[in-house]
Amino acid sequence: PQARADVDFKIMSTFVEFYTVVLGFVNFRLYHSLNLYYPPKFPNYSDDIEKDLADEEVYVAERIAALNVSLIRTKEEDQEEEDNVVDDFPDSTDDPEKLEKIKLELERVRALKTLFQGLKFYLNREVPREPLVFIIRCFGGEVSWDRLLFVGATYEEDDKSITHQIIDRPSLSTCFPHRYYIQPQWVFDSVNARQRLPIETYMIGAILPPHLSPFVDENRDQYIPPEEKLFRDPSLLLEKPFTEDGDDDVLSDVDLGEEETLDKTEETVLDEKDKEYITSESDDEETEVKENLELEISSKEKAREEKKKHMAVTVGTLVQEDPREKTRLEKQEYRLREKMIPKKHRRLYKSMMAGRMKRNKEAWLLGKKRKRYEEEEMLKRKAQKKEAIKAALASVDAQEL
């Protein structure tokens, strides 16, 4: 018999039923691992009209999609105990610094979970609701929106307890006091930075700072923007130029001090040896030994006095090292090391060096573009200042006339 051209819907329905049961079991295990009921249960709300009008499955699906409704837990105290648990690491490792870094990172992660705790957000219509609600709820904040936009809103725009309102438009017709009007990028940048960033650069109509990706390596050999350098190391703003003169003076003082201490130690060692030598001799030879020692000591003192007379401090000559010769020698040594690479590893080495040169070239080009952009921005700011001064002078002249 020939194969049928149409689809066997009975087999398809069997597979659909099978995968529905499998996914239901997976969801059941996932929900119960978080101390949640499955199907999820919601606390009692005042808007029972929607529940009466809509189907129960639709009601549950809409509330879950809202990402803004707290689900009823099976055990409330278990979650609190989990939050208060402190991880204990075994001391079997030989690197205590590594353990300390791991503990600090875990503390930062715990603090990150409560980044937006105590804050109440309100989302305008033009901002993306799903990602913002997901992020704010994950980090302990409360969020709401217009009830006509989507189900699950918990408070209105005129609520006086709102601390931040997220908008993405240049201006607003009505503004409420005692709240901040910020752009959506503030939420993402604060999560990436693991701290609440200042909101001055994220206000209405402000030029936003460049968005820094958290999925990059700090020690990468690529172009790093100056904003990222300042963000990762704020001490760069306080750096001062290094002065070498002071260090040279300190080094010279240290050298002189070491020479003096060496001379003193030599003298003390000689004196101790002389004393031991005197006490070890017999009583019959004491007079001869004393005379010999006195002669030796007197001769040493005379030699020291003559050396002191001839001693003088002269200005040393500074030997200037030729930088070209130094770079030439370094290149020669580098080429010799390259020639010593085995033949089977030479191709890998060449590919690695080609990739490094490509990354260095890209970083150089990006740095050049950034420098050109900063110069253009500086010229624009100067032109704007000149125009503002001219306008102010013209207004003053008009008032005088």
Name the residue with tokens 């994950």: 138
Instruction: Please indicate, yes or no, if residue 231 is contained in any of the structural domains.
Output: no
Residue 338 above 90 pLDDT?
no
Concatenating the DSSP letter of every residue in 357-400 gives HHHHHHHHHHHHHHHHHHHHHHHHHHHHHHHHHHHHHHHHHHHH
Q: Which two tokens stand for residue 356?
A: 């490094």
Q: Are 74 and 108 in the same domain?
A: no
> Which residue, 293, 299, 248, is CA-closest to 275?
293
Instruction: Please indicate, yes or no, if residue 293 is contained in any of the structural domains.
Output: yes
- Give me the percent of the chain exceeding a pLDDT of 70: 74
Domain count of the fold of the chain: 3
Instruction: Please indicate, yes or no, if residue 125 is contained in any of the structural domains.
Output: yes
Give, in degrees to the nearest 5, the angle at Cα 304 between 298 and 308. 145
Q: Are 72 and 108 in the same domain?
A: no
Q: What is the CATH number of the domain that holds 110?
A: 3.40.50.10190
Q: Which of 86-95, 153-162, 339-348 has the lowest mean pLDDT?
A: 86-95
Q: Looking at 145-292, which runs of residues are DSSP E strands?
A: 164-166, 180-182
Decide: 304 and 263 in contact? Cβ < 8 Å.
Answer: no
Residue 235 above 70 pLDDT?
no
Q: Are 210 and 148 in the same domain?
A: yes
- pLDDT at 212 (0 to 100): 79
- pLDDT at 50 (0 to 100): 53
Instruction: Please indicate, yes or no, if residue 230 is contained in any of the structural domains.
Output: no
Q: Are 112 and 157 in the same domain?
A: yes
Instruction: Please indicate, yes or no, if residue 383 is contained in any of the structural domains.
Output: no
For 394, left (φ over 0), alpha (ψ -120 to 50), or beta?
alpha
- pLDDT confidence band for 94 (50 / 70 / 90): low
d(CA 78, CA 106): 20
Domain hosting residue 189, numbered range: 103-215
Instruction: Please indicate, yes or no, if residue 322 is contained in any of the structural domains.
Output: no
Residue 56 above 90 pLDDT?
no
Q: Are 111 and 173 in the same domain?
A: yes
What mean pLDDT comes out for the span 95-114? 85
Please, where are the H alpha helices in 311-342? 323-339
Selection from 16-25, 185-194, 300-309 with the highest mean pLDDT = 16-25
More confident position, 2 or 197: 197
- Beta strands 142-144 and 164-166 are unpaired
Give the tens place of pLDDT for each residue, 262-282: 444 444 544 554 445 444 444
What mean pLDDT comes out for the span 298-323? 75
d(CA 372, CA 378): 10
- pLDDT at 241 (0 to 100): 43
Q: Which residue, 195, 215, 235, sits at the end of a domain? A: 215
- pLDDT at 131 (0 to 100): 93
What mean pLDDT comes out for the span 387-399? 87
Q: Are 73 and 113 in the same domain?
A: no
Q: Are 109 and 167 in the same domain?
A: yes
Give 215's contacts (C-beta < 8 A, 6+ positions apart).
none
- pLDDT at 393 (0 to 100): 87
What mean pLDDT comes out for the span 44-62? 63
Decide: 94 and 137 in contact? Cβ < 8 Å.
Answer: no
Task: Say which DSSP state 36 is in.
Answer: B
Q: Are 113 and 207 in the same domain?
A: yes
For residue 120, the SS3 value is strand
Residue 111 above 80 pLDDT?
yes
Q: Are 119 and 55 in the same domain?
A: no
Instruction: Please indicate, yes or no, if residue 4 is contained in any of the structural domains.
Output: no
Q: Are 117 and 191 in the same domain?
A: yes
Give the tens place of pLDDT for each residue, 360-376: 898 889 889 989 988 99
What mean pLDDT comes out for the span 341-370? 89
Residue 119 above 80 pLDDT?
yes
- pLDDT at 268 (0 to 100): 52
- pLDDT confidence band for 106 (50 / 70 / 90): confident
Instruction: Please indicate, yes or no, if residue 62 is contained in any of the structural domains.
Output: yes
Q: Are 127 and 170 in the same domain?
A: yes
Give the tens place of pLDDT for each residue, 164-210: 999 998 888 888 888 999 999 999 999 988 889 889 889 988 888 88
- pLDDT confidence band for 120 (50 / 70 / 90): very high
Mean pLDDT across the chain: 78
Q: Which residue, 259, 285, 300, sits at the end of a domain? A: 300
More confident position, 399 or 203: 203
